[in-house]
Amino acid sequence: MTGCYIIEFDGIEGNEELIWRTYTTLTQVESAFCSMKTDLGTRPVYHQGAERTKAHLFLSILAYHLLANIEHRLLLAEMV
């Protein structure tokens, strides 16, 4: 079913709060990559070589880390 998640924690010890935090983290990551693909234009590019593919993936991950850092700093600034 499209748009539905089933969270299964096999072999991982955790309570409901840990499972919920994991789920919300997953949705935040998916949202960030969706934004990067549409707003920043990092849609899949069909590269001819493995090195170019690795570089494209590296830049996408780097962009996500920058976004996460900015969001974290904004959250900290709101707490002050």
Report CA dihedral (60, 66, 69, 71) to the nearest 10 degrees.
-80
In-domain check, residue 6: no
Average pLDDT, the chain: 76
Reply yes or no on whether the pLDDT at 44 is more than 90.
Answer: no
In-domain check, residue 11: no
In-domain check, residue 3: no
Q: How many domains are contained in the chain?
A: 1
The model's pLDDT over 51-72, given as tens digits with 9 standing for 90+, comes to 877 887 788 788 888 888 888 8
Q: Record the pTM.
A: 0.54
Q: Which residues, in sequence order, are CB contacts of 43 under 8 Å at separation 6+? A: 37
Assign 14 to helix, strand or coil: coil
Q: Which amino acid is at 67?
A: L
More confident residue, 50 or 45: 50
In-domain check, residue 66: yes
